[in-house]
């Protein structure tokens, strides 16, 4: 598979994880998840720019690019524990939609067949067609469900005379049978689109959409509990599709079709982490980050965290499954850490109280300052 080099940004990997080569299966054999950049935005109906999304998601993190991110509350390292590698950006010709989507789909199918979790960095939402279809090719048509965070339903029929575009992919994958309409859960919808004909089509397919007013009234947690129960009913895996515009444009301004009144960044991160922990995720995409409209990298940084929080949830799910535990993420940050210190060098292990150790450190610091 052809991949871009540095065409849409520096040739770096997601937070410094190892590079892999899709033509060399040995290079990702040990990984559980593979990052794939999909720098395609020819499907946008309004402001383009999402083709620069993969670059922004990879480089925006303020921490060192070590390929390691120990999670504070879950106490797992999503990148190291799961084994995450980055395949770079797939070549998606801007004027060759069918070929571009076909190439991406074959990559997703290849990764799923190899037992890997594809993590797609969009790109506009058109790429969902390839992502979902590629997974369905492996798991079977109608065998995966989709949990879809978005301000928009993306179930339009034809736009600009085309079957392809970022407002249409969810209709295409239901029409093809890749996903059952009644296993398609949409969270965060709002605004003034789609219109009654599309809503009728969605209702006829048994889709379930949670508009912001319902989420506000019932609470995101309750809505998620209901949605996830449907998502895992008689399916073999769940695909997570996150359009960053599900978040309020005040917290995620860098996107092509911003719709006021969305989730907070914190709500989205809590939700995707929970989904990673609670269901069998077989793939994910984060789309519609358009850096040209971003401010202070707010949107790119949030999207970077959407990936990390989801992967952290998956890593915790696997750690709990292996140990027969169920980690409580509200455990106090420092609880149990000294006792768990395998080096035996913790202050308590040496019989030194925390207060005593702190006083010693303060004294040393003052000595150092005096010496200067």
CB of 190 to Mn ion, least distance (A): 10
Question: Which of 18, 191 has the CB closer to Mn ion?
Answer: 191
Q: Does 243 bind Mn ion (CB under 5 A)?
A: yes
State in Å, rounded, how far the first CA of the chain is from the last one: 58
| Contacting Mn ion within 38-97 (CB under 5 A) | none
Give the closest residue to 164 by CA, choosing from 227, 94, 233.
Answer: 94
Residues forming beta bridges with residue 243, ordered by sequence position: 287
Is residue 3 within 8 A of residue 87, CB to CB? The reply is yes
Q: What is the DSSP string of 169-206?
A: HHHHHHHTTSS-GGGEEEEEE-SS-S-HHHHHHHHHTT
Segment lying near Mn ion (by CB under 5 A), choices 57-65, 78-86, 132-140, 143-151: 143-151
CB of 84 to Mn ion, least distance (A): 26
Segment lying near Mn ion (by CB under 5 A), choices 56-64, 189-197, 243-251, 310-318: 243-251
Token representation of residue 227: 């949605």
Neighbouring residues of 63: CB distance < 8 A, sequence distance ≥ 6: 15, 69
Residue window 103-132: x/- pattern of binding to Mn ion, with contact defined by CB under 5 A: ------------------------------
Q: Which residue is nearest to Mn ion (CB)?
A: 152
Question: Which of 31, 173 has the CB closer to Mn ion?
Answer: 173
Q: Does 190 bind Mn ion (CB under 5 A)?
A: no
Radius of gyration in angstroms for the set of CA atoms belonging to the chain, rounded to a whole number: 22
Q: Contact with Mn ion (CB under 5 A): which of 150, 248, 267, 285?
A: 150
Residues forming beta bridges with residue 185, ordered by sequence position: 147, 208
Q: Contact with Mn ion (CB under 5 A): which of 41, 86, 245, 294?
A: 245
Q: Does 152 bind Mn ion (CB under 5 A)?
A: yes
Q: Could you list the residues that contact Mn ion (CB under 5 A)?
A: 150-152, 243, 245
């Amino acid at each position: 598979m052809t991949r871009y080099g540095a065409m849409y940004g520096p040739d770096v990997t997601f937070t410094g994880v190892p590079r892999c080569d899709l033509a060399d299966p040995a290079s990702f054999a040990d990984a559980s998840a593979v990052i794939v950049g999909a720098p395609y935005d020819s499907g946008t109906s309004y402001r383009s720019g999402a083709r620069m999304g993969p670059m922004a998601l990879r480089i925006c993190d303020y921490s060192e690019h070590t390929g390691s991110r120990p999670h504070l509350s879950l106490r797992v390292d999503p990148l190291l524990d799961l084994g995450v590698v980055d395949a770079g950006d797939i070549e998606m010709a801007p004027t060759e939609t069918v070929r571009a989507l076909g190439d991406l789909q074959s990559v997703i199918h290849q990764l799923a067949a190899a037992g890997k979790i594809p993590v797609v960095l969009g790109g506009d939402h058109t790429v969902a067609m390839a992502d979902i279809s590629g997974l369905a090719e492996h798991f079977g048509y109608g065998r995966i469900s989709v949990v879809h965070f978005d301000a928009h339903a993306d179930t339009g029929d034809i736009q600009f005379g085309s079957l392809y575009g970022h407002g249409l992919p969810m209709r295409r994958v239901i029409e093809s049978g890749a996903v059952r309409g009644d296993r398609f859960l949409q969270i965060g919808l709002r605004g003034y689109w789609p219109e009654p004909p599309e809503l009728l089509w969605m209702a006829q397919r048994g889709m379930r959409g949670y508009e912001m007013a319902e989420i506000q009234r019932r609470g995101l947690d309750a809505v998620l509990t209901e949605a996830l129960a449907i998502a895992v009913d008689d399916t073999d895996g769940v695909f997570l599709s996150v359009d960053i515009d599900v978040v309020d444009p005040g917290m995620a301004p860098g996107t092509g079709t911003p719709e006021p009144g969305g989730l907070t960044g914190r709500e989205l991160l809590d939700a995707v982490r929970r989904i990673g922990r609670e269901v069998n995720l077989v793939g994910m995409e984060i789309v519609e980050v358009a850096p040209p409209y971003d401010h202070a990298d707010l949107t790119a940084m949030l999207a970077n965290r959407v990936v990390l929080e989801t992967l952290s949830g998956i890593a915790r799910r696997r750690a709990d499954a292996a140990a027969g535990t169920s980690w409580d993420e509200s455990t106090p940050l420092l609880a149990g850490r000294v006792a768990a210190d395998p080096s035996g060098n913790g202050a308590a292990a040496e019989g030194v109280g925390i207060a005593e150790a702190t006083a010693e450190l303060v004294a040393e610091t003052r000595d150092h300052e005096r010496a200067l």
